[in-house]
Structure 1
Amino acid sequence: MKSATVWFAAALLCMVIGSPVRTAQSQARSPVPPQGAEPARPRYQVKPPEGPQVIETDTVRVRVVPLARGLDHPWSLAFLPNGDILVTERPGRLRIIRGGVLDANPITGVPPVFAVSLQGLMGVALHPKFVDNKLIYLTYSKRGDQGLSATALARGRLEGNTLTDVRDIFVTEPWVAPTAMASALVFARDGSLYMSVGGAINATTSGQLAQDPRNHYGKILRLRDDGGVPPDNPFVGRAGYKPEIYSMGHRNQLGLAIHPVTGALWESENGPQGGDEINIILPGRNYGWPVASYGREYSGAPIAETPVRRDMESPVIFWVPSIGASGITFYTGDRFPTWKDSLLVGGLSGRAIHRIKFNKDGWEETYRPREYMLTDLKQRIRDVKQGPDGLIYFLTNGFDLRDSLEGLVLRIEPAE
């Protein structure tokens, strides 16, 4: 890859003038399809590693070190300023790793969580001014009446091992449970908060909610840090639209990340049997689900009549078949020089960390295949983040709450 300066300058120009990162329909070039052969996936998940393992990747030899074991369906992680790690567990616990050791006692004060099937405690994020205000944000499934549930955003102050002043600052309208309502969080540079809300997919709705602006499902929301609506949101004042909506037409958004140079919001999105996506999220845009998609049903049939529409955004990266795209992070550290400027994508069904490399124009490289890393572990990768030390941290877990396989927090470091 050419210098980071050149690539980042090109990427910034793309965001300004709307070249490759804009809709593929308006460009001569389409989203880059999968390159190279994906390694065969293990049929069953195997027991996680007991100790450190040295693994060869395409460009560097790494050591994978388990930091914490015995977690119950971990979902998301976030770093405190001192390097300690917060981890959400889907059944409703917030855990902390202090000095590399998992505290046996969960953090108290977490709101009651409706944990069923693929729902529960999900995203976690620190306020940009956490050093001063100690504010933590959580997304979770909130129990409603008559078997309904909603996706809630709670805020509390972390004091020692307790959350205080905890309250819901935003709650979606309730919907039938159980269903897929994945939620992730990330703060933008301007201090606003992006929150994804999955498309509420179950036996009674296969995605229609994502195209309906009168609800929050299948949307990415943009909120103030107090849960209110920023006045410059794209649909503020527009009849028939929820004012919190920033973008719509999404299926199941498990990962959000801010581009380290452009400040653009990037998102990972699960398809069903195929059609996992990486999208660059622009205000007021429709990302197509379920009327325009590269995805396939679990039967193998196409989801939509067409993968692209001129009035909808296309993904910048997609996978067919699905990898179960989960957490994402841009690598900006110095510990893995050959990974610099790459996008790392967790894979649940693919059981790997996928490294996406970009050329000087900001497009995914086509002359080299995507790198599928850590396939030897045969683990479902739920979240992946760069730590303040420049190393990579990731979560593994089982499929749903009926799966008893322990979850882990692991660290990737150079094998020097």
Structure 2
Amino acid sequence: MKKIAIALYLIVVTLNSSCAQETENKVSETENPPFSAELYVDGLQLPWGLTMMPDNSLLITEIDGKVIHFKDKIKTEISNIPEIYRRGQGGLMDIALHPNYEENGWIYITYASEGEGEEKGGNTTLMRAKLKDNAFIEKQLLYKATPNTTKGQHFGSRIVFDNEGYLYFSVGDRGDRDVNPQDITRDGGKIYRLNDDGSIPSDNPFVNTDGAKKAIYSYGHRNPQGLVKNPETGKIWNHEHGPQGGDEINIIKKGANFGWPLITYGINYSGTPITDKTAMEGMEQPLHYWVPSIAPSGMAFISTDNYKGMKGNLLVGSLKFQYLEHLVMKDDKVVKREKLLPEIGRVRDIKEGKDGLIYIAVEGKGIYKLVPNN
């Protein structure tokens, strides 16, 4: 019965979708992409995030609690990282450099932590630190989502800076969809905006709302594991996991409600409906959604000319189907989907490096470099 219910749901959603979205949900396999995938860093278990240093070396996070510096083919583990709460999808997650890293040396990470004197369990945390002699120093806790919970799902969490130097990071709904995402007095199911030192920008949308979490920039999110700046417009884009169907791409807007769980193109994993609504007044529609879900993780705009015909498009990792998805973009719309690197594995993160090359993190394998074809 479950399979029948899901099949019927997918038929209904497809019929109700616009022609454009129907076209977008058809994915074609590209036999000859303009690159080859070269295993660049091997021996990694679950590389969750990566970033490139000014000298083109890599900093890589492993979810179990390691930060690895890869330079000159040597992996060095960074010491003095914060204590990590490892449960389910939670652990050591994203890593990013300050836009002015060469001047100030700040490195930002998100991770699950317990905190002191709080409820049992953990929640998503943001901190920054500097790197000296392969150790973190000057560690500063910038934000700790509350309350703690022992649930193991939906921690988020990605980090990105905009053109004005504001820091954005995501926290999933922590498995409490009926409470957290729509309540701006609670953490969870949100995208947050901070100054680079963790203080609250004076023009954040809810700074003058009684009881609200002042760091919230947008809400109504489920589990955002993609967050990236569009290099052409400077706008912040995210993608997030839907339930059974309904993964989304959104352009983040100040104070916007993205609807979860009141509207969704997905259903429960059991096959039962979450809601009969895919749209409501005052809630944002996704720029793109996937039915069925691909379980997206990691996202990068291609700003380089190194990959023929791909500049300006998006790359998204698929955890569920274990491939790299190429989204051809036109006027902020997905006009074509292409499956690249089929069966490469669970793609967890994607970054375009300062060297103009794309790097992808794959669970159980490591970091691949996409080498352009001559």
TM-score by length of 1: 0.81
Partner of 1:35: 24
Distance in 2 (alpha carbons) for counterparts of 1:385 and 1:71: 17
Task: Using the TM superposition, give the Cα deviation of residue 410 of structure 1 relative to its aligned residue in structure 2, in angstroms.
Answer: 0.7
Matches within 5 A, 1:203-352: 205-352=176-323
Are the equivalent residues in 1 in contact too, given 2:68–2:78 (CA < 8 A)?
yes
In structure 2, runs of 5+ residues without a counterpart are: 1-17
In structure 1, runs of 5+ residues without a counterpart are: 1-28, 40-55, 398-405
The residue type paired with residue 291 of structure 1 is L
Partner of 1:364: 334
Partner of 2:134: 161
Are the equivalent residues in 2 in contact too, given 1:138–1:154 (CA < 8 A)?
yes
Partner of 1:49: none
Distance in 2 (alpha carbons) for counterparts of 1:114 and 1:362: 38
The residue type paired with residue 362 of structure 1 is D
Task: Using the TM superposition, give the Cα deviation of residue 345 of structure 1 relative to its aligned residue in structure 2, in angstroms.
Answer: 0.8
Where 2:180 maps in the other structure, the secondary structure is: helix
Task: Using the TM superposition, give the Cα deviation of residue 229 of structure 1 relative to its aligned residue in structure 2, in angstroms.
Answer: 0.3
Matched, 1:183 2:157: yes
Partner of 1:380: 346
Are the equivalent residues in 2 in contact too, given 1:222–1:233 (CA < 8 A)?
yes
The residue type paired with residue 288 of structure 1 is G
Task: Using the TM superposition, give the Cα deviation of residue 340 of structure 1 relative to its aligned residue in structure 2, in angstroms.
Answer: 0.7
Are the equivalent residues in 2 in contact too, given 1:218–1:250 (CA < 8 A)?
yes
2:361 pairs, out of 349, 371, 395, with 395
Deviations 1:145-170 (A, max 9, x none): 45221211111011231111112121
Matches within 5 A, 1:33-182: 33=22, 35=24, 37-38=26-27, 57=30, 60-99=33-72, 101-103=73-75, 105-144=76-115, 145-179=118-152, 180-182=154-156
Where 2:21 maps in the other structure, the secondary structure is: coil
Matched, 1:194 2:168: yes
Where 2:103 maps in the other structure, the secondary structure is: helix
Deviations 1:163-186 (A, max 9, x none): 111121211112211332121100
Partner of 1:24: none
Are the equivalent residues in 2 in contact too, given 1:31–1:314 (CA < 8 A)?
no
Distance in 2 (alpha carbons) for counterparts of 1:207 and 1:256: 24
Are the equivalent residues in 2 in contact too, given 1:156–1:163 (CA < 8 A)?
yes
Are the equivalent residues in 2 in contact too, given 1:59–1:338 (CA < 8 A)?
no
Distance in 1 (alpha carbons) for counterparts of 2:302 and 2:184: 34
Are the equivalent residues in 2 in contact too, given 1:33–1:319 (CA < 8 A)?
no
Are the equivalent residues in 1 in contact too, given 2:25–2:290 (CA < 8 A)?
no
Where 1:117 maps in the other structure, the secondary structure is: coil
Are the equivalent residues in 1 in contact too, given 2:33–2:340 (CA < 8 A)?
no
Where 1:132 maps in the other structure, the secondary structure is: helix
Partner of 1:7: none
Structure 1, 273-282 or 60-69: larger mean CA deviation: 60-69
The residue type paired with residue 295 of structure 2 is G
Distance in 2 (alpha carbons) for counterparts of 1:306 and 1:31: 20
Alpha carbons of 1:76 and 1:207: their partners in 2 closer, same or farther (altered >3 Å)?
farther
The residue type paired with residue 249 of structure 1 is G
The residue type paired with residue 367 of structure 2 is V
Alpha carbons of 1:339 and 1:300: their partners in 2 closer, same or farther (altered >3 Å)?
same
Are the equivalent residues in 2 in contact too, given 1:34–1:318 (CA < 8 A)?
no
Deviations 1:251-271 (A, max 9, x none): 000010001111101001001
Aligned residues: 354
The residue type paired with residue 138 of structure 1 is I
Distance in 2 (alpha carbons) for counterparts of 1:301 and 1:241: 33
Deviations 1:173-217 (A, max 9, x none): 12211332121100111111001001101xxx3443111111120
Residue identity over aligned pairs, in percent, reads 37
Deviations 1:15-36 (A, max 9, x none): xxxxxxxxxxxxxx79734636
Where 2:309 maps in the other structure, the secondary structure is: helix
Give the alignment's Cα RMSD to 1 decimal: 1.8
Alpha carbons of 1:139 and 1:315: their partners in 2 closer, same or farther (altered >3 Å)?
same
The residue type paired with residue 263 of structure 1 is G
Are the equivalent residues in 2 in contact too, given 1:330–1:342 (CA < 8 A)?
yes
TM-score by length of 2: 0.90
Partner of 2:7: none
Distance in 2 (alpha carbons) for counterparts of 1:327 and 1:254: 6
